[in-house]
Amino acid sequence: MRQVILLALLVASSPVRADEKEKRSGESHDGRERAAAPQPEPLPSEISGEQKPPPGSAEDQALWSDAAELTRRVHVSRAEATRLQWDARTDRFDERLGERARQASGGEAEKLLGLQKLYREALATNYLTLTRRWPVDPTRGCGYAMLHLGSAMREGKAELLGPSRADVRACVARARPAVEVMEASNADVARVSAEAARLLGPAPAAPAAPGKGT
């Protein structure tokens, strides 16, 4: 397990390529310009939860809406994890906590090293949670099952509604625990990152490439 975590950390903390920085830029919490995380493709509107549930029974509409909300949460939680992994490259908390610990002594050094350990573990768990095989489509969530249920609701055919309901319920049962784990992991990374930012302050600006800014 330790080797897997170390591998995940190496991937997550690999340097941002110059061309990636030039393609996408944004602003950090301290106002510095930084590379922004790649944005995921938006969900198609018919499965994003933006539309009202199709006409049908209150039970079917509630089931459809539950699946739509979980689909949205799958999409949002994975996008947030991608952003957190991307920000780790720019913030360099792992490296900076180690540097500060080497300059400190006694209790302060122990505190910094303890936070570095928590940060590494939270970031590695987050990366593995994001990249593992998900029990539902990692982009569309329960979207396809929703489409089938929506069609059955509009047609009102009992022979279609039964199997469609079963498919949506099965997808919801698979998606809910997976997305809850992803959301909890995101919260852990955000919490430890906020503590590191409080102790370390903003990361030093990267030196300008030769021939630029002159």
Mean pLDDT on 132-156: 92
pTM listed for this prediction: 0.74
Whether residue 206 is contained in a domain is answered as no
Whether residue 27 is contained in a domain is answered as no
Whether residue 131 is contained in a domain is answered as yes
Whether residue 160 is contained in a domain is answered as yes
Write the pLDDT tens digit of every residue in 148-182. Answer: 999 999 998 888 999 999 999 999 999 999 999 99
Q: Say if residue 54's pLDDT is above 60.
A: yes
99-103 contacts, C-beta under 8 A, 24 or more apart: 100/199, 100/200
Whether residue 151 is contained in a domain is answered as yes
Range of the structural domain that residue 71 is part of: 56-200
Least confident of 72-81, 186-195, 201-210: 201-210
Write the pLDDT tens digit of every residue in 18-41. Answer: 333 333 334 444 444 455 555 655
Whether residue 150 is contained in a domain is answered as yes
Q: 50 or 105, which is more confident? A: 105
- pLDDT on residue 142: 94
Q: 87 or 204, which is more confident? A: 87
Give the count of domains, the chain: 1
Pairing of strands 26-27, 33-34: antiparallel
Q: What is the dihedral of CA 207, 212, 213, 214, to 10 degrees?
A: 110
Location of structure tokens 């249920």: 149
Whether residue 98 is contained in a domain is answered as yes
3-state secondary structure of 34: strand
